[in-house]
Structure 1
Amino acid sequence: MEKFGKSQPVTRVEDARFLTGQGRYVDDIAPEGALRGHVFRSNVAHGVITGLDLDGARAAPGVHLVLGADDLAAAGITEGLAFNLVSNRDGTKGAAPRRPLLAEGRVRFVGEPVAFVVAETLDQARDAAELIEFDYDDLPAQMALATGGEALHPEAPTNRAFDWEMGDSTAVEAAIAEAAHVVRLTVADNRVIANSMEPRGCFAEMQGGRLHVSVNAQGVWGTKRNLARILGMKPEAIRVTNPDVGGGFGTKAMDYPETFLAAHAARTLGRPVRWMSERGEAMLSDNGARALEHDLVMSFDSDLRITGYRVDTRCDLGAYNSTMAQAIQTDLFSKVLMGTYDVQATYLHVEGFYTNTTQVDAYRGAGRPEAIYALERIIDRAARELGVDTWELHRRNFIRPEQFPYVSSTGETYDVGEFDRVLSRAEEFADRAGFAARCAESRARGRLRGMGLCYYIESILGNPSETAKVEFHEDGRVSIYVGTQSNGQGHETVYARFLADQTGIPMEMIRVIQGDSDLIANGGGTGGSRSVTTQSNATLATVSRMIEAFTPYLAEKMGVAAGDVGFDDERFRAPGSNLTPTLIEAAALARADGRSDLLVHEETATLPGRSYPNGAHVAEVEVDPETGEISVERYTVVDDFGNLINPLLAEGQVHGGVVQGIGQALWEHVVHDGDGQLLTASFMDYAMPRANDVPMFGFATEAVPSTANPMGMKGCGEAGTVGAMAATANAVADALWQAGVRQADMPFTPHRVWKMVNDGMASVG
């Protein structure tokens, strides 16, 4: 039998359900007669609350409950939202100001929840919110990534939340001082909004004395723990479910106030309460992403080998710490700080600042796209300044195959890698040899054409442990319960087919069940490109446990010794026995014999190490110098994902990730004014990439199987974004270099590019 792990493209089975309107999204499945929740939000970025009168709203038609911060406190809800902290350079912890569910005494960003209104209908809840009297005294908005200004929190009087470092600054400074060449570059990573197709939403209800919360998130167990903590309930009294989720990208990996507000309201009123964000509300309240400034320094010896790399970063946290905000641009960024290059002298210094804006947290890649963007931009700039081909500069500094396993300067153990081989495949696949002719053709039409290279590596993150449970049903069907949560990646197809190929159970007989804290004891949810790797590892462990459990039982049926029974991924067989049952047949025998212990099998497995997907992205763009318009003409990717489970789904993940990276480079950009008002609060002002904005992608793989898991896999969910930002930006920089532009950075919107071209030509002229 050909195993599924041998790269068989299998079309997603769940798409038929989604495309015919049969998806079960949270706003579709809310209980009949559920009350509607509406959030009253701050319309100012910074102010002291001098008055909040909710009586008018409470008296409005159809209203059942109106909550302010004082009401939560009176009900005993005093815990704030959870977050992680990093340590400062002096050993102290980063600032930890309380983040309340509803504003307490002060508002700190436009869109911050101030009150929660629950009514019979959404229109009634909105109308009631109009009757809330909200008075405040304005405070200056803090928007700069710098110390000073009006303090947002007493815990951070200068608005600096943390001051973190990793590496040996003395060694790096020595390398820079002794270098034959030193290259410096300042780049920024613009703020973006994820904008998943389905905005955030939830509903809550009481079920026989237990609280059930359904939320379109990226896992259930973290939410369950936080509900228990914030509401003061026992965990066993809470059930959390995730229905179908229309995109997450990290933005739905953490909890938001509305989940707890709806849960408290449902528990208080004894009726179901539902809340669903609208698009404009999402742009105000969903966590933003990226929002960094980097000062980069790279040193080289006379052979153009990199000898040192220093990164000084200022990152925007928004008004509060979100769940992973402090860790993303510090620890997670550091995982791939030096990328694929053999350099040990590195230093990363990061300062995080509070600003009067929405929080910043995880978005596809979470730290790794930011790190690779900075690294590959300065590598590209170095090649230009040092007069060497950028492809050659990459090759000269790659970690060589014989150096693996390789411990990076920040402590990551890369198990395998053949970077030159992957790059050579990309050079051929992208037809680099034909670029000069394409460049001349563009020039003849008055266009500037550029090619950009990015060689990325990323570190698969998240909990390395996962659980799988397999249950045999009386009708012959089989359920596999998983601890991850699909947000549109195709998990139902991948997990069912993987189990089918390990067991011989027909795929159509397998049902994948996810997102229910009552049905599986624990799980890590989805994030960090971990899902298929960790879940497949857990499935293998569960199958092994299953075979081990069935073997002695079937040996007795076969009349042979247990040691003689083998399983060939389809049937149990033993010499001297004509009985060759499949697992489904074995389960039917066990059921008939009353052996219920053989009908459910569960196992948790932990990966021994991370995997490190890597690859080359090659972008080609055309710039119209008259208008600043940029078109992406060609885009080629060659990835090393190790052994592919399903190449069709892997390519789809890369396509989506690449578009998100291109989107940030060329169009997407969050803009606030000096008072903290969001100026890009709708799709009229916030540009999203469309299908006709990107070309057909060239996608290929060069597999170097990982040694960090039994399948030889490397996660692929975020890799497209990790490589796309720098590849696109380097392509634009290459085109603009011809017009005398020496400082070019995202976002490359038409007006910014037009200004760069005109300023560049003026400086040359």
Structure 2
Amino acid sequence: MCSQNSVGRPRLALVPAHSAAIVCGDQHSGEQVLQAFGTSQGGTRHEDIRFLTGKGQYLADILPEGALHAVFVRAPVAHARITTLEVSAARDMPGVRAVWTAKDLQDAGVNGSVLGATLADRRGGKGAAPKRPILAEDTMRHVGEPVALVLADTHAQAQDAAEAVELDFEDLPVTLALTPGGPTLHPEAPDNVALDWELGDEAATNAVFERAAHVTTLSVRQNRVTAASLEPRAALAQWDGTRLHFAFNGQGVWTMKRELAKLLSLDPEQVHVSTPDVGGGFGMKVMVYPEHVALAAAARALGCAAAWVADRGESIASDNGARDLTSTAEMAFDAENRIIGYRVRSQFNLGAYNSQFGQNIQTALFSKVFTGVYDIPAAHLQVQGMYTNTTPVDAYRGAGRPEAITLLERTMDMAARELGLSPFALRAQNFIPADSFPYKTPAGETYDVGDFSRLLSRAQDLGDVKGFAARKAESAARGFLRGLGLSYYIEAILGDDTEGAAVEFMPDGRVKLYVGTQSNGQGHETVYARYLSGLTGLDEALIDIVQGDSDLIAKGGGTGGSRSVTVQTTATHGMVVQMIAAFAEFLEAEIGSGPVEFEDGIFSAPGSNQRLTLSEAVALARTRGAEGLLRHERRVKLQGRSYPNGAHLCEVEIDPETGALRLDRFLAVDDFGNLMNPALAQGQVHGGVAQGYGQAVLEEVIFDAQGQLQSGSFMDYAMPRAADFPMIDFESVPVPSLNNPIGMKGCGEAGTVGALAALSNAALDALWDNGVRHVDMPLTPQRIWSWLHAQSG
């Protein structure tokens, strides 16, 4: 047996980095910690060959022969009362198997509301919770809202039948305002205010402002964007007479399982949800959407398989939108330029209904980092969520944290200008000191570690800030305006702070690792297999990652909020520690009388010359009939969140004749703690910065005054291209987290969180000498040209 510690439990000792060793015994911290061979080492991705050779199995690739094809009839206007919805002609068309309306759903016993969380309201009670019907009932409230579902033998037949549905309506007044008032969308929300939410001590914060030596005020508009994932949303529903199998390209299967069971009045055991390969999610694919429920209900009623694959225009019209808010920040300084107070007022767009997390994004999630990396003693945040006749708004890469950091970092830049200080110096003066951690923010978050001055100093050196004046002069000589932009962000990994991992040893020698997250293209198969191999010495090529199946994995937190690798490897770590201890106890009787050690992938015992790899120990256990050793699982709970942070520095050139902006340099100096795989981390930074650039410079979902979508295709909605980017430089400056045994911090959203303010600040810096004092995203040529010419008259 392993030797016992003071509380009578076996412990596994800490070993040096880059050595996979578990030794029974005590350690001063009492923690069980195991370091993997592969931590912070590169290598090719397992997934790449499959994806690059066209062998990925996406939703559209797994449709069974004979599956019916679904097409949705969608609202053509933003707000109207339905007067006629006649589907008999469509039902009689060739190949059509069903045409469903809200009444058909109700006749099938499906009359619930699509999931939408609500928060506590400062006026008392909770935010509004109007019903979001699965198919529009008597009223259509946004362009693209599903009104009817057509199922036919082929997609073309379904499309033809959808066009034959007779839909007449009486127009109702449209509201798009992010201010209270206007035509009421829901009686539950007078003046269309769904939620009025606050955080912090308003009285104490206001008192601080009374004695401020200087106050900077800035309003920032966050443009609405759409996720535009490479693979549009899609789903497949199959009913075998007793059980529903629902496959969809999402970011986790368990919420979908729960909601389908509830809305279809099924026992949870009657619902099996799975996810194949997913071509991008970015938060938009986390949610349960009306289309999912309608498709599942119809497939059950028909007793068949039915599939829906959205096209791009349908996606832009019906996928959850993102951002879409206006915020005003006020920052109070004392006479020594120290921040003494910060208050924010925001009004954000929920769209026509609550989406799954809609009320959370610009409130609870925004608040996690709304004071950023600064030592601010008093802060208050007040937020109103508004209903409008637009597609619902929800999570998108960063989900509230990019919005908070953009506002804060643009305010810091403006304050530096007003105070006559360098933006670097003002930030450094107000950073939370490195010796002040753990640090509790006004929002109640406890940052575990941080060394912000170190990262900022490194960014100044790598970014050659001293040489900027010369580069600006060189640009001017060519007729261009050059600007330098800085943003120092902090992020909070979100989502479920518990996760499970299980390993199963198969008779053929392969190993299955069951995980509760869901890859959307990040490289999970690589990092998880490599980490397990590094911990145990198992052959990485023999490890299969099992994900996205509610029958095989009872519970999981899915993917979102930069949680995946942190929580999943923590769970894997805990499971391996438990597994090795179990094998050590088993092997004690097999290879020696002393305590069995596991180091560098080898079990051994003092006084014995026997050495066994884990694979050999598994084979021995199978021979001895020790079946309990062939599968191990464990759930863990993180001690706390981790808080990735870093300095983003960029330079842009602007052509004053056309307003065109060109990104010339971009540097990200990031603290992600201990990296699992540097190449994958760098890829996440590159992708995040690219999406941030898209929002900052190009992208915007636009509705006209009647709520009609004006940017419904890639002909109208501008997306970034490879030619828009220089090489995005990245350096890791790790300050390991104390809240997980690996010391890591999530990196999936950080690039976007930091990029928006850096790019906006760079653009304003380029335009400042020409009299421009404010910019808002997107930084399109037409808008920049207009700002310049407004100053020149």
- Specify the TM-score bucket, using the shorter chain as the normaliser: over 0.9
Which of 631, 641, 654 aligns to 1:623? It is 654
Write the distance in 2 (CA, Å) between the matches of 1:208 and 1:13: 38
- 2:210 maps to 177
1:552 positional shift: 2.1
Measured in 2, the distance between the counterparts of 1:157 and 1:417 equals 44
Look up the match of 1:725. Answer: 756
CA deviation vs aligned residue, 1:426-453 (integer Å, no higher than 9, x gap):
0011111110010000011111100000
Q: Provide the residue aligned with 1:677 in structure 2.
A: 708
SS at match of 1:130: helix
Corresponding residue number in structure 2 for 1:550: 583
Alpha-carbon separation, structure 2, partners of 1:45 and 1:509? 53
User: Structure 2 counterpart of 1:695, which letter?
Assistant: P
Structure-to-structure mapping, 1:567-578, within 5 angstroms: 567-578=598-609
1:389-443 C-alpha deviation (Å, 9 max, x unpaired): 1000000100001111100011000011000000000001111111001000001
1:166-189 deviation line (CA, Å, top 9, x unaligned): 111222222222111111111101
Query: Does residue 430 of structure 1 match 2:469?
Result: no
Q: What are the equivalent positions in structure 2 for 1:603-752 lying under 5 Å apart? A: 603-752=634-783
Distance 1:615 1:81 in 2: 38
1:669 partner amino acid: E
Paired residue for 1:369?
402
**Matched pairs, number:** 760
Match of 1:188 among 204, 221, 227: 221
Match among 257, 260, 271 for residue 290 of structure 2: 257
Question: Which residue in 1 is equivalent to 2:366?
Answer: 333
Q: How far apart in 2 are the matches of 1:383 and 1:441?
A: 25
| CA–CA separation in structure 1 for the residues paired with 2:575 and 2:345 | 46
CA contact (8 A) 1:5 1:711 kept: no
Q: Alpha-carbon deviation of 1:594?
A: 1.9
Q: Which amino acid aligns with 1:700?
A: E
Q: What is the rounded CA distance, in whole Å, between the counterparts of 1:50 and 1:91 in structure 2?
A: 37
Task: For 1:743, give the aligned amino acid.
Answer: H
Cα separation, 1, equivalents of 2:614 and 2:550: 27
Cross-structure match for 2:547: 514
Which sits farther off after the overlay, 407-416 or 175-184? Answer: 175-184
CA distance 1:207–1:10, change in 2 (3 Å)? farther
Instruction: Tell whether 2:440 aligns with 1:407.
Output: yes
SS of the equivalent of 1:186 reads strand
Cα deviation code 1:97-147 (max 9, x no counterpart): 001110011000000000000000011111111111111100111011111
**Deviation larger for 592-601 or 119-128:** 592-601
Corresponding letter in the other structure for 1:449: R
Q: Does the CA contact (< 8 Å) of 1:4 and 1:645 recur in 2?
A: no
Superposition map of 1:382-421 within 5 A: 382-421=415-454
1:47 aligns with 2:100: no
Counterpart Cα distance in 2 of 1:49 and 1:485: 39
Is 2:483–2:766's contact at 8 Å kept on the other side of the alignment?
Answer: yes
Q: Is the 8 A contact 1:741 1:761 kept in 2?
A: no
Q: Select between 270-279 and 568-577 the one with higher mean Cα deviation.
A: 568-577
1:7 match: 40
Task: Report the 3-state secondary structure (helix = DSSP H, G, I; strand = E; otherwise coil) of the residue aligned with 1:739.
Answer: coil
Q: Which sits farther off after the overlay, 588-597 or 315-324?
A: 588-597
In the alignment, structure 2 segments of 5+ residues that lack a partner are 1-17, 20-35
Range 681-690 or range 82-91, more displaced: 82-91
d(CA) in 2 for partners of 1:591, 1:121: 50
Deviations 1:318-344 (A, max 9, x none): 000001110110010000010000002
**Pairing 1:282–2:304 present:** no
- Which amino acid counterpart does residue 169 of structure 1 have in structure 2? E
CA shift at 1:157, angstroms?
Answer: 2.4
Q: For residue 759 of structure 2, what is the amino acid of its counterpart?
A: T
2:189 to 140, 156, 170: 156
1:760 Cα deviation after fit: 2.1
Q: Which residue of 1 aligns with 2:171?
A: 138
**Deviation at 1:206?**
2.4
1:207: how far off?
4.2
Give the letter for the 2:591 counterpart: M
- Compute the displacement of 1:78 (Å): 1.1
**TM-score w.r.t. length of structure 2:** 0.95
8 Å Cα contact 2:592/2:606 also seen in 1: no
Letter aligned with residue 234 of structure 1 = D
Conserved? CA contact 2:38–2:530, under 8 Å = no
In 1, the alpha carbon distance for the partners of 2:451 and 2:792 equals: 41
Q: Provide the C-alpha distance between the structure 2 equivalents of 1:714 and 1:352, rounded to a whole number of angstroms.
A: 31
3-state SS, counterpart of residue 682 of structure 1: coil
In structure 2, how many angstroms separate the alpha carbons of the residues matched to 1:682 and 1:139? 26
User: Which of 326, 337, 340 is equivalent to 1:304?
Assistant: 337
1:587 aligns with 2:615: no
Moved over 4 A (4+): none
The one-letter amino acid paired with 2:451 is E
CA distance in 2, matches of 1:661, 1:760: 28
Structure 1, gaps ≥5 residues long: none
Do the aligned residues in 1 keep the contact of 2:487 with 2:755 (CA within 8 Å)?
yes
Question: Is 1:404–1:414's contact at 8 Å kept on the other side of the alignment?
Answer: yes
SS where residue 540 of structure 1 aligns?
Answer: helix
* Paired AA for residue 570 in structure 1: G
Tell me the equivalent position of 1:490.
523
Structure 1 contact 319–358 (Cα < 8 Å) conserved: yes
CA distance in 2, matches of 1:540, 1:97: 43
Question: Which residue of 53, 77, 80 corresponds with 1:20?
Answer: 53
Contact 2:340–2:376 under 8 Å retained in 1: yes
Report the secondary structure of 1:27's partner residue: helix
C-alpha distance in 2, partners of 1:166/1:272?
A: 48
Shift of 1:743: 1.5
TM-fit CA distance, 1:6: 3.8
Partner Cα separation in structure 1 for residue 456 and residue 626 of structure 2:
55
Distance in 1 of aligned mates of 2:43 and 2:759 = 30
**Alignment correspondent of 1:217:** 250
1:319 is matched with: 352
* Post-superposition offset of 1:569: 4.4
CA distance in 2, matches of 1:612, 1:426: 19
Q: Which moved more, 1:651-660 or 1:735-744?
A: 735-744
Offset of 1:4 from its aligned partner?
4.0
Once the 2 structures are TM-superposed, how far is the Cα of residue 42 of structure 1 from its aligned partner?
0.5
Residue in 2 that maps onto 1:125: 158
RMSD (CA atoms): 0.9
Please, which of 592, 602, 610 is the counterpart of residue 633 of structure 2? 602
Q: 1:204 aligns with which of 237, 243, 253?
A: 237
Partner of 2:278: 245
Q: Is the 8 A contact 1:291 1:316 kept in 2?
A: yes
Pairing 1:462-481 to 2, within 5 Å after superposition: 462-481=495-514
**Which string of whole-angstrom CA distances, capped at 9 and with x for unpartnered residues, describes residues 500-541 of structure 1?**
000000111111111001111100000000000000010011
1:191 match: secondary structure? strand
- How far apart are residue 91 of structure 1 and its match? 2.4
